[in-house]
Structure 1
Amino acid sequence: MPRRLIELPLLRRLKPGLHVHDEEALNAEPPLDLLDEAITPVDAFFIRNNGALPDIADESAWTLTIDGEVERRTVWTLPELKDAFETVTVTAVLECAGNGRSQFSPATDGLQWRLGAVGCARWTGVRLGELLRHAGVKPSAVYTGHHAPDRQIDKPERAALSRGLPIAKALAPETLIAFAMNGEPLPRLHGGPLRIVAPGYPGSAWQKWLSGISLRPQEHDGEKMRGTDYRLPTRPLHPGEPIDPKDFAVITDMPVKSLLTRPAAGFCVAAGELLTIAGFAWSGATPVVGLEMSCDGGTSWTETPLQQGEGLFAWRRFETQFRAEQPGPMTILVRARGAGGQRQPLEMPWNPRGYCNNQAQRVSGRITAAD
């Protein structure tokens, strides 16, 4: 079936306002005001694809194969997974490693995400570690390799994406094979019927349409796991400098970050009125613990309370009110910090693939004279 015929019915389910990027693969992100909920609605969640969406005619016939460095090769249907293992729910932020890539200067290769390639959802499934232990993890296993039926648009004989996880993360209790999102069966656009959920890791590690897991005796070398794909330089690199893939390491921990969902850029507030400022903060492996806010372009900063999130891997909301006073331009900045002392930078160091941009967000507007 032609790719667009598969995608059109799915696109109609998106919330109006999502920006569909001008790419061959289907990629879309919401405006920031649609991210102003603790649990991001499915129809407002960003969509990331590296290739064509697979045509899945019968989900009831879907199987998941576990092989490689295991004692027993196993094959599971979706009903068998649900019957054999405990069903658990983990609330976690999913963010594309390239979120915010459009802010890098000079520009880098890759999809020019704005700031909306992120969301927080309740993911329900079974623990990946339980499946692997059932299959018998050999001491030689150091990495998982994940497989799915999506293919490159220009090279349909090749997988679009095949990434994996270090064995410790694969066995961690928060890592799931999910079959539901926000209490409903996992939508096709978000990887249904099965996907990996790897809280704290970049979205590329959350393999969609999961059909196979092979345990590997070395770091997985599947599609988009070689060269500089989803990797950060291990030393500072400057624009124009020669690139050696040996100087790059796989991204396994997303940085501490925050997002202003209110007010929108270009806001106007009258002098003497209260302006609501709200958004979320989150981190990767290390919990987010605090947030500072500036309403004068970074000259002064105020500690802003964070509300409790739904678990260690969910984002935490902040909401406060600022009384506008002197008419003129106004710039709001927020920067989060993690339990390990890491803090969002005011300016993000450049990297050649535009990954992990967590520079403090700036939202500018104006205070107008009171009537």
Structure 2
Amino acid sequence: MNMWDKRDDMVVHEREPFNAEPPRTGLAGQLRTPLDTFYSRNHGPIPDPDPDTWRLAVDGLVERPLDLSLADLRERFPATEVTATLQCAGNRRTGLIEVRDIPGEAAWGSGATSTATFGGVRLADLLAAAGLKDGAAHIAFTGMDVSPLPDPPERYGGSITTGKALRPEVLLAWSMNGRPLPRVHGAPLRVVVPGWIGARSVKWLTRVTARAAPSDNYFQATAYRILPPGTTSEQAGPDAGISLGPIALNCDILRPDDGARVPAGQTSVSGYALAGDERTVTRVDVSADGGESWTQAVLDPPREPGLWQLWRTVLDLPPGEATITARAWDSTGALMPESPRHLWNPKGYANNSWARVRVTAEGHHATR
């Protein structure tokens, strides 16, 4: 394993800051992602805070500002757990890069999505203790990590709506899969916002601020936005384009891997589907001929908001090359868009086009 206790076959996009994803098949067939496999997305050097001196401030539009230690959090508020899927806004960026190059952005594949059981306290309980004032429409978070991307450099931050912040699934977490939260994942405390892009689940949390407007942090006001056509990242100023929040409906094929050689005939195909915020996935279709015909997959029922739903099916593959395609529908009746060509944007965010893997089926095609 590397210095952050990740598996040896992680795809490392950058070592400083550390950005890495597991191979697609590393996510297959399990509801929860092992800690050594969970993707890592960072914007600056990873902090090394002292849990004994760490403090959390809750301020802004509140009646009773709070200043809390880890012991305070554990003693004053009930502990709870939530199993949630986190997904980077740049997940599947490689599909957009195939349409047109995206300079300066990491070529994330399908592995920037992972699921864990997080333990901690509900953000809503802290906000109730602080007492939100009228007009507190947004809850902003500030981390300890300093990113060199803004000019001048600043601490990482972002915000979510107060309506989302008060949902019971939104946590301030100190554990992950039953173990203390790893440093690389935000210890001693991080935000977990199920159903929203991973960028809003701020790590190494030091401050929660109730505000009338969204955070003016660089990563809320300027980054993580889908820019208008013809606008470059250099041209875009604060508040340009669409600010990303809830995750777009998405699904992916986790097994077989892209480029795999499989026996001809009955072939198991499996993956995940995810619908952001309060939506659920209602159907996954899978095709063995690039979308000419479809088979409805067996789909796990929804369990918690913001948690992926695993799916599986069996396809009959004749010998030769084949393109396996998957698409999902959500509880609003929305369908994933067919092509990444219609989704390309200058930062390469939110590719939720149909998932595709190309395989080669070998051997005799046994029919039944």
**What is the TM-score of this pair, normalised by structure 2?**
0.91
Residue 268 of structure 1, aligned match among 255, 261, 285: 261
* Offset from partner CA, 1:65-99 (integer Å, 9 cap, x none): 10111111111111211121121111111001011
**Letter paired with 2:225:** R
Residue 213 of structure 2, aligned match among 218, 223, 228: 218
Alignment of 1:313-332 (within 5 A): 313-324=306-317, 326-332=318-324
User: What are the ranges of 5 or more consecutive residues in structure 1 without an aligned counterpart?
Assistant: 1-7
Alignment of 1:82-101 (within 5 A): 82-101=74-93
- Larger mean CA deviation between 26-35 and 304-313 belongs to 304-313
* Offset from partner CA, 1:124-166 (integer Å, 9 cap, x none): 1111011011111010212122112211247897324111111
User: Contact (CA 8 Å) 2:73, 2:121: kept in 1 or not?
Assistant: yes
Match of 1:358 in 2: 352
Q: For the structure 1 residues 74 and 359, does the alpha-carbon distance in structure 2 shift closer, same or farther, using more than 3 Å as the test?
A: same
| Secondary structure, aligned partner of 1:82 | helix
| Secondary structure, aligned partner of 2:83 | strand
Match of 2:297 in 1: 304
Alignment of 1:37-52 (within 5 A): 37-52=30-45
| CA positional deviation for 1:232 | 2.2
| Secondary structure, aligned partner of 2:213 | coil
| CA positional deviation for 1:270 | 3.3
User: Contact (CA 8 Å) 2:195, 2:305: kept in 1 or not?
Assistant: no
Q: For the structure 1 residues 266 and 249, does the alpha-carbon distance in structure 2 shift closer, same or farther, using more than 3 Å as the test?
A: closer
**What is the TM-score of this pair, normalised by structure 1?**
0.90
**Letter paired with 1:70:** V
User: Contact (CA 8 Å) 1:45, 1:119: kept in 2 or not?
Assistant: yes
Alignment of 1:327-342 (within 5 A): 327-342=319-334
Matched, 1:66 2:61: no
The count of residues paired between Structure 1 and Structure 2 equals 357
Match of 2:157 in 1: 162
Q: For the structure 1 residues 73 and 270, does the alpha-carbon distance in structure 2 shift closer, same or farther, using more than 3 Å as the test?
A: closer
Matched, 1:254 2:244: no
User: Contact (CA 8 Å) 1:91, 1:310: kept in 2 or not?
Assistant: no
* Offset from partner CA, 1:194-214 (integer Å, 9 cap, x none): 111111111110000001111
User: Contact (CA 8 Å) 1:69, 1:137: kept in 2 or not?
Assistant: yes
Higher strand share: 2
Aligned residues with identical type, % of pairs: 34
What is the distance in 2 between the residues matched to 1:155 and 1:261? 35
What is the distance in 1 between the residues matched to 2:305 and 2:46? 32
Over aligned residues, Cα RMSD in angstroms?
A: 2.2
**Letter paired with 1:344:** M
What is the distance in 1 between the residues matched to 2:6 and 2:239? 40
| CA positional deviation for 1:112 | 1.9
Residue 133 of structure 2, aligned match among 129, 138, 155: 138
Q: For the structure 1 residues 24 and 278, does the alpha-carbon distance in structure 2 shift closer, same or farther, using more than 3 Å as the test?
A: same
| CA positional deviation for 1:255 | 0.8
Residue 208 of structure 1, aligned match among 192, 203, 211: 203
| Secondary structure, aligned partner of 1:22 | strand
Residue 34 of structure 1, aligned match among 4, 21, 26: 26
Residue 361 of structure 2, aligned match among 336, 348, 367: 367
User: Contact (CA 8 Å) 2:281, 2:302: kept in 1 or not?
Assistant: no
Match of 1:293 in 2: 286
Match of 1:278 in 2: 270
User: Contact (CA 8 Å) 2:146, 2:153: kept in 1 or not?
Assistant: yes
What is the distance in 1 between the residues matched to 2:15 and 2:306? 30
| CA positional deviation for 1:171 | 1.4
**Letter paired with 1:299:** E
Q: For the structure 1 residues 39 and 240, does the alpha-carbon distance in structure 2 shift closer, same or farther, using more than 3 Å as the test?
A: closer
Q: For the structure 1 residues 75 and 9, does the alpha-carbon distance in structure 2 shift closer, same or farther, using more than 3 Å as the test?
A: farther
User: What are the ranges of 5 or more consecutive residues in structure 2 without an aligned counterpart?
Assistant: none
What is the distance in 2 between the residues matched to 1:83 and 1:124? 14
